[in-house]
Amino acid sequence: MERYQVSVDKDSGITNNPNDWSTDPRYIVDLIKRVVRVSVETMKIVDSLPPLHDGKLKESVTAYQTQESATSWELN
């Protein structure tokens, strides 16, 4: 919400007014409502997925992390 304000670019002088996107006074409230709804529904879907605690997956992740550590060490 702190970014939802009128601002003027220093270099170009262009005014960015988020209120210009819609004449509906409830626009931002409805937009936030939709974003929250999608987030909640996404979490419901994610929570309903089966766990990924497969031995092969754990081995793959460990191997990848080991490889990443070795690569990042070599680059430094």
6-58 residue pLDDT tens: 889 999 999 988 777 788 888 888 989 999 999 999 999 999 988 776 556 66
Contact (Cβ atoms closer than 8 angstroms) between residue 18 and residue 28 = yes
Cα Rg of the chain, angstroms? 23
Q: What is the pTM of this model?
A: 0.46
Q: State both tokens at 59.
A: 């081995």
Instruction: Name the DSSP letter for residue 7.
Output: E
